[in-house]
Amino acid sequence: MLRGLARQIRRATAGLSARTNDSAGVRTGRTILELAEVIAGPDQSNAVELPITQADLADRIGATRESTARAIGVFRRAGVLETGRGRLVVVDIDGLADLVRAM
């Protein structure tokens, strides 16, 4: 039980640190990657559809919807993400990870 609590505290601390140190684009990309892993599991070889709106994603990462939309636009133009009404589709997980690392 203590290990589980310690893991949750480390995750929360890392999240707070990322909110203050990383740009909205990096936080957007990392969160999309995390959600894709939760939905598809660690062996993601196909496109992964995420049922989340840009506003919900912005709330989740603590950014404005506009800055989140700008980051999503960068990912779309790079061809690693597609958008639809109330959903995001990650079409190239490795490419998205590379873009986030380069930001």
The pTM assigned to this predicted structure is: 0.75
Q: What is the pLDDT of residue 24?
A: 87
Domain coverage including residue 41: 23-102
DSSP state of 86: T
Specify if 17 maps to a domain.
Answer: no
Q: Are 59 and 19 in contact (CB under 8 A)?
A: no
Specify if 34 maps to a domain.
Answer: yes
Specify if 50 maps to a domain.
Answer: yes
Q: What is the pLDDT of residue 79?
A: 94
CATH of the domain at 85: 1.10.10.10
Specify if 8 maps to a domain.
Answer: no
Specify if 7 maps to a domain.
Answer: no
Count of domains in the chain? 1
Q: Are 99 and 74 in contact (CB under 8 A)?
A: yes
* Lowest mean pLDDT, pick from 9-13, 71-75, 94-98: 9-13
Specify if 1 maps to a domain.
Answer: no
Three-state secondary-structure class, residue 61: helix
Range with the largest mean pLDDT of 9-23, 44-58, 72-86 = 72-86
Model confidence at 96: pLDDT above 70: yes
Question: What is the spatial distance between Cα 46 and Cα 66, in angstroms, rounded to a whole number?
Answer: 28
